[in-house]
Amino acid sequence: MRSSASGCGSGWPSPATTESLVPAKGKRTPSARCEPSPTSGLGSVPPDVDAILRPTIARSSGEPEDVAAGYGVGYFHLVWSRGRGLSFNVIGGSGRLTDAIAHELEGRIWARSRVEEVTSEDEGVRIRYIHDRERSELRARYAVVATPAYVTRAIVRGLPEETDRALAAISYGPYVVAGLLTAETSAMPWDAIYALATPKRSFNMLFNTANVLRPRSAQRQPGGSLMIYSGGSLGTRLLELDDERIVSIYTNDLYDLFPESRGMVREIVVQRWLHGLPYPRPGRHLLQPALERSLGRVYLAGDYLGTWYTETAIRTGMAAAGDIAGRLTGPGSNVHDR
């Protein structure tokens, strides 16, 4: 990880650089700033220490050499801080959150619709899209574009040059992900584990996604579910391999970690994500003004606007909705806004 926005040295940074990652209350997005540390950083670290830090940071889809210093240290804290950070789960899986939102908005969500163009006009926004293989067009007073940075850049017409450049500069790393169903009938050594960093393996981390159910069970139910993935450079190495080869590599490492898993893997599904999570490179904070500038009737929202992932996406979406509501009902509103 580089230790400043301007390439201020090399090696691991001081935890002091994480300060800028903590969002101020009410602030629209947290800064992805990488500032010079009061010290020269940790410098070179022993290989075993690097091996512990690297798989966690690569969980963000970027390698320690690529991400901003404060972000890398802050991300390690976010992942492993017990009782804070990522130590919370939605029972039944994170998909239940989007299912609940869709339920509340029933009849107002068009799934399987591909937006091709969003254009701001004097009195509204024109949106061209494809639904059921048919091209259609609709008009709205405002639009909140909540898509990844590279998609936003492709579909929003008339972007200011600086905003277009900022969107193009957002970095995404790849993932290769595997979901595993297991067929054990008794307790397994991973039952008490939710997340495990896996240094020097073909995958960065292992998740026992059934872990949250175990303490609530009177007895150990048969079967289970594991998830493993390779982010950053590990993902890049595996992207071009076929599923059979990836499964072989993954299961060999899994059996080495947990010999009891041999013969227990019943099904594996492999996915490849060329664009995983957005991660901030050194100097990422310099893009923020261009990303937050007014675009008239078009608003941007999404995780790439900050460093807190789902929370950033929610915050930016709510900020956009609040601003639009104010424009629709405020003293300066007009007939075209209502």
Using pLDDT thresholds of 50, 70 and 90, give the confidence band for residue 124: very high
Q: What is the pLDDT of residue 316?
A: 97
Place of tokens 């300060």: 19
| 252 token code pair | 């060999």
Please state, in angstroms and rounded to a whole number, the distance separating the CA atoms of residues 161 and 57: 32
State yes or no: pLDDT of 293 exceeds 60.
yes
| 130 token code pair | 């494809």
Range scoring the smallest mean pLDDT among 46-50, 240-244, 301-305: 46-50
| pLDDT tens digits along 95-121 | 898 899 999 999 899 889 999 999 999
Paired with 68 in beta bridges are: 2
Please state, in angstroms and rounded to a whole number, the distance separating the CA atoms of residues 68 and 1: 6
State yes or no: pLDDT of 162 exceeds 60.
yes
- Mean pLDDT, the chain, rounded, equals 84
Q: What is the pLDDT of residue 40?
A: 31
57-71, 240-254, 301-315, range with greatest mean pLDDT: 240-254
- What DSSP element (H or E) covers 316? helix 310-329
Question: Taking a C-beta distance cutoff of 8 angstroms, is the pair 234, 54 a contact?
Answer: no
Rounded to 10 deg, the angle between the 47-57 and 69-80 helix axes is 80
Please state, in angstroms and rounded to a whole number, the distance separating the CA atoms of residues 196 and 1: 22
Please state, in angstroms and rounded to a whole number, the distance separating the CA atoms of residues 77 and 56: 10
Q: Which residue has the higher pLDDT, 308 or 100?
A: 100
- Amino acid at residue number 211: N
State yes or no: pLDDT of 12 exceeds 70.
no
State yes or no: pLDDT of 201 exceeds 50.
yes
- Closest to 50 (Cα-Cα) out of 33, 65, 67: 65
State yes or no: pLDDT of 2 exceeds 50.
no
Q: Which residues of 250-277 are buried (b: 16+ CB within 10 A; e: fewer)?
A: bbebbeebbeebeebbeebebebbebbb
Q: What is the pLDDT of residue 216?
A: 64
Q: Cα-Cα-Cα-Cα dihedral of 11, 17, 20, 22, to 10°?
A: 100
Range scoring the smallest mean pLDDT among 145-154, 192-201, 316-325: 192-201
Please state, in angstroms and rounded to a whole number, the distance separating the CA atoms of residues 279 and 302: 13
Using pLDDT thresholds of 50, 70 and 90, give the confidence band for residue 33: very low
Q: What is the pLDDT of residue 8?
A: 35
State yes or no: pLDDT of 213 exceeds 80.
no
pTM here is 0.82
Q: What is the pLDDT of residue 134?
A: 96
CA 276 vs. chain centroid, Å, equals 7
Please state, in angstroms and rounded to a whole number, the distance separating the CA atoms of residues 203 and 35: 31
Paired with 176 in beta bridges are: 230, 272
Q: List domains and CATH numbers for the chain.
A: 110-171+281-337 (3.50.50.60), 174-273 (3.90.660.10)
> Hey, is 265 helix, strand or coil?
strand
Instruction: Report the alpha-carbon angle 43-12-24, nearest 5.
Output: 140
* Half-sphere exposure at residue 298, Cβ-oriented, CA atoms within 13 angstroms: 25
Q: What whole-number percentage of the chain has pLDDT above 70?
A: 82
State yes or no: pLDDT of 190 exceeds 90.
yes
47-51, 88-92, 254-258, range with greatest mean pLDDT: 254-258
- What integer is the mean pLDDT of 162-186? 97
Please state, in angstroms and rounded to a whole number, the distance separating the CA atoms of residues 335 and 14: 54
Q: What is the pLDDT of residue 288?
A: 97
Number of neighbours of residue 199 by Cβ within 10 angstroms: 15
CA 175 vs. chain centroid, Å, equals 11
- What integer is the mean pLDDT of 61-88? 80
State yes or no: pLDDT of 63 exceeds 50.
yes
- What integer is the mean pLDDT of 188-217? 88
Q: Which residue has the higher pLDDT, 217 or 9?
A: 217
